[in-house]
Structure 1
Amino acid sequence: MRYLISEVARYFGTAVSALRYYDQIGLLRPAGRRGTVRTYGRDELLRLALIRLLHHDGMMSLADTAAAISGNPPGDQTAARLVIAESIRVVQRQVQQLREAEQVLEHLLTCPRNDPIRDCPVLRAQLEHTVDAAIDQPEDWS
């Protein structure tokens, strides 16, 4: 069974322009055409599901997604594994930042001060540290 580009876009919640762009950069080629309209088969839908998993779910940039799933000779996944390993490091940093954000929000929620945004000494100390760290950064004159 073949699906029109508009159908695929609707099924996956993706813009038609995104599917055209994926074709343009060689990330997702259509199975064929019906006149001038791109059509996609099951294999292409599976590839799109993989692209969405890696890219749209925030695991990888589009460039990293393309590098991970395109252009590797069969059996040689060295480049893909390097991209995936770096993506893991990025996700780990994001998770750590989210944990820190959660701690701040939980503290603000439970802070005994009437106005924790203005009066909390813990928040104030954290803000002072942030300002000091920003000021102490060497200027980038490049």
Structure 2
Amino acid sequence: MSARVLNVIRNDDGQFEITDQRGKVVEGPFDTNAAAWSALDRIDHETMPGRPRSNKKVLWGKPEKPAKRNGKKAGRRQAAKDEHRMKANAAKAPGWVRSVAAAKFDPAGERKFRDYKLGTFGAATEVKRIDPATYLAEKAARGE
């Protein structure tokens, strides 16, 4: 099998052509360089052995799936599946992740914890007034 060398060149009219190594026009003329190169790719794929390649445009990202007929029922089923998957994944999470998530999503528990941390002290607690002279007299009486 001999390999053909093909080139894209610009002719005198400003259009693009595909030529072989002897300068003979294989295909063309094309208005744009891009059109000439896509034709060259098509020729390469036709002559190359291997799997056939489609000429479809590439869709970037995920293509949208067509809508199903029974949308309401399928939507409910999908929501139930998603709910189950979330619960299963939450159960598999490490302990520290679960404790952080519990604190974030359990405001009553967070409040209880905060109150427990504060103890009996808070903004409403009366402040005990200490007279320095009385305090020093009591300290001297104890012998400290």
TM-score (norm 1): 0.23
Which structure shows the higher strand fraction?
2
- Relative contact order higher in (CA < 8 Å, ≥ 6 apart): 1
